[in-house]
Amino acid sequence: MAEPTVMAEPTVMAVFAEVLLDPERPAPPGLVVRPGADPRRRLAVYRNNVAAGLVGALRVGFPVTERIVGETFFRAMAQAFAAGHKPASPLMFEYGSGFPAFVADFPPAESVPYLGGVARIEAARLQAWHAAEAPVLGLPELAERLGGGAGDAILAVRVEPHPAARLVASRHPVAAIWAAHQVPGAPRFDGPWQAEAVLVTRPADEVRLRSLDVAGGAFAAALLAGASVAEAGALALEEDAGFDAGSALVALVDAGAIGKLKGARV
C-alpha cells in the first residue's frame, strides 16, 4: 500500500544526517516524539551529542592546551575545529592529530604564539601512549655494542627509533611551558624564552618528556630520521660549536628514544 507522505528508508537516514550536521537546517518532517514534545528539541540532543563528543575527545587529549587558554576559549576553538574536521575513523584517540596545526593557525589564539607547540606536545604524548610495544635499547647494551669505548666506533652508529619516540621542535620553550601548566592555577611560565625541542618517549609504562636545546634537537631529529651519529653531530655542531655527540647519544638512549642500533660494528 502506498504511503506517499513517508520517505523511503535510506532517504530518511540521509536527510537526518544532513540536518544533523547543519544547525541551520530545520527539523525534517516525519520525526516522532512523545505527545507534547518538540521534535526540534530532540534533534538538538543529537546535534549536541555529536558536537560535545568531538569537543570532549579533544579535551581529553589536550588538557594543558585547555588550561592555558581556559575552558571557554578552548571549547570555542575545539568546536571550530570539529565543524570542519570530522573523525576519519572510530578511533577517537587519533582524532586530535590535526588539531595542533589548527590551533597554531587559529586567528583568535594569535596572542598565544606557543599554543600550537604545546598542542603538538600533547598530540605526541597521545601517540606515544598508544604506540606499539618494542624493546628499548639500554645503556649497557650501547656500551657493549661500542666495544668498550673504541674511539670512533660511535660515529658510524645509526639507530632505529623506539616506536613511541616523537620529537617536537618549537621556537618557544614549549616543554617548560607545558611543565609549568601541570596543575590548575599554576603561575605563568617565567623562565628564559628560548627555542626548545621536546623528546617524547615511553620507555616503560608512562610517557616522558625531555627538553633538548636547539643543537640537541637538531641531533635527535637527524639521528631518529636515519642519519649516523657523525652526520647528526655535524648538523648539531652548526648550532653549537661545543656540541658533544657522544653524550647526546647517551641522553637519547637514557630517555628510551632508541629501539636498537643498526649498522656494522666497527
Partner 1 sequence: MMTGNRRPGPEPNAVPARAGVGLKPPHGSAILGTRPDVGFFEVHAENYMGAGGPPHRLLEAVREVYPLSVHGVGMSIGGAGPLDRDHLARLRAVVERYRPGLVSEHLAWSTHDGAFLNDLLPVPLTEATLERVAGHVGEVQDTLGRQVLIENPSSYLGFAASTIPETDFLGRLAERTGCGLLLDVNNVAVSAANLGYDGHGYLDAFPVEHVGEIHVAGYDEEPEADGGRLLIDAHGSAVRPDVWPLLSHALGLTGPLPVLIEWDNDVPDWDVLHAEAMAADAILAALAVGPRRAGAGHG
Contacts to partner 1 by CB under 8 A: 5-10, 12-14, 16-17, 20-21, 29-39, 41-43, 45-46, 49-50, 53-54, 57, 86-93, 128-133, 163-164, 202, 205-206
Tell me the C-alpha to C-alpha distance, in Å, between residue 255 and each of 145, 203, 213, 234. 18, 7, 15, 22
Closer to partner 1 by Cβ: residue 50 or 195: 50
**CB closer to partner 1, 45 vs 183:** 45
Nearest approach, Cβ of 88 to partner 1 (angstroms)? 7
Q: Using the minimum distance from each CB to partner 1, give the nearer residue, 44 or 186.
A: 44
Residue 204: CB atoms within 10 A of its CB come to 9
Report, in Å, the least distance between residue 110 CB and partner 1: 29
Give me the least distance between CB of 102 and partner 1, in Å please: 16
Phi, psi dihedrals of residue 167, rounded to the nearest 5°: -130, 130
Considering beta carbons, is residue 202 or 210 the nearer one to partner 1?
A: 202
Contact 161, 258 (CB under 8 A): yes
Q: Are 55 and 79 in contact (CB under 8 A)?
A: yes
In the 3-class helix/strand/coil scheme, how is 106-173 assigned residue by residue?
Answer: CHHHCCCCCHHHHHHHHHHHHHHHHCCCCCCCCHHHHHHHCCCCCHHHHHHCEEEECCCCEEEEECCC
Give the chain's radius of gyration (CA, Å): 25
Question: From the CB of 27, what's the least distance to partner 1, in Å?
Answer: 9
Rank residues 67 and 202 by Cβ distance to partner 1 and give the closer one.
202
As measured in angstroms, the least distance from the Cβ of 153 to partner 1 is: 32
